[in-house]
Amino acid sequence: MRNAFTITTMLGTVIALSAARPAYAGRFNSFSDCVVGKRVLTSDNHKGKITRLDRPWSYCYVLQDDTGKEVSYLYSLLDADGQSAEKDNNDKVVIGNYNCSIGGHGAGDMRVTSRSTYETDGKKGTFRVESSGKIVFESGPFSTYNAKLLDGRRIGMNMNGSTFYNMTCDPVR
């Protein structure tokens, strides 16, 4: 991360631009939310499992439980199925490097150095993960951010406390 000021400025801009967008709990916010094997609820009320992805078109193919058909959906037409979302939302942050992005554009990186410490742009801080998956940055550059552990051990962050996380940090695999 070049510096925390740049990320804060970018995050503020994205929040301002997306203020009119309603936040839906469980609604997929980006194509990266589509993961093969994840259980979903579709916009036309079918439950199913993601079987494959079409990255160029941002389609997630879902095998519907009730019809047995495989149907393509844009990621924005899918919600995380309640049981699956809770099962996939691991209660631990992965130790290691994370790539952060805002609206699909790179916003820097963060390194989790232990179960309770992190660093970014050469600055260190501490955090804790609550049982709800909420991440509280107790000190350091992200201490003013609201954060939550998302599916796939991703970290979602925003500055307004809503359920829409403008910035996401993905563990480097």
Q: Would you place residue 19 in the very low, low, confident or very high pLDDT band (cuts 50, 70, 90)?
A: very low
Q: Does residue 80 sit in the same domain as residue 124?
A: no
Supply the CATH number for residue 164's domain. 2.40.128
In a domain, 26, yes or no: no
Percent of the chain with pLDDT over 70: 79
pLDDT exceeds cutoff 80 at 157: yes
What value does the mean pLDDT take over residues 138-166?
90
Name the nearest CA neighbour of 25 among 89, 99, 70: 89
pLDDT of residue 20: 34
Name the nearest CA neighbour of 51 among 15, 83, 78: 78
**Span 93-149, pLDDT tens digits:** 888 899 999 877 888 899 999 889 999 999 999 999 988 889 999 999 999 999 998
Q: Does residue 138 sit in the same domain as residue 102?
A: yes
Q: Would you place residue 26 in the very low, low, confident or very high pLDDT band (cuts 50, 70, 90)?
A: low
For the chain, the average pLDDT equals 80
In a domain, 164, yes or no: yes
pLDDT of residue 2: 56
Domains: count for the chain = 2
Q: Does residue 106 sit in the same domain as residue 123?
A: yes
What value does the mean pLDDT take over residues 31-36?
87
